[in-house]
Amino acid sequence: MRLFVAIQLSDEMKKALVACMHDLKKQGVEGNYVPAQNLHLTLAFIGEYEDPAKVKRVIENVPLPQFRLSLSEKGNFGNLLWAGVKGNQKLKMYVKDLRDALRAAGIPFDDDKFIPHITLIRKAAAKKAYQVRLPKAEMTVRKVSLMRSEMKNGKTVYREM
């Protein structure tokens, strides 16, 4: 099963991001828009792994400090368009501790440099220039979730384990 560790977003944060995506659509930006219920912030992408209980134990043993998450910047990785969050030391330290604990437990994960982002559109394309207008939104992070990604009727569905 495809697994990842993520911060699930508050309804307020999702509404702000959906408003931003509607605006992009109106400006003619095409691509695979992420459905509102799938918006999240990935902390560690594990991929195919058959022992979710082991991953959950690791998550439970890494203390999560409560912190504020605020939308701030925007960016892209090639044709993947994303919303970023304000620089956050507690988030960076937590991700480092989480990834160290996953590594120590022998759980494989994508070890790319952590760039906190929320994917908005995959394969984004536009015929003319556009503006990404990111509304102000913030939330308090109190927990992280082990998520499972699966295909249902041709759509990607994320479920908390």
pLDDT of residue 122 exceeding 90: yes
pLDDT at 13: 96
**Edge-to-edge strands, sheet with 145-152:** 40-48, 2-8, 145-152, 155-160
Q: Is the pTM of this model over 0.85?
A: yes
What tokens appear for 153 in the block? 């009727």
pLDDT of residue 141 exceeding 90: yes
In CATH terms, is domain 2-146 a member of 3.40.50.2300? no
Listed by start position, the domains of the chain span 2-146
pLDDT at 120: 98
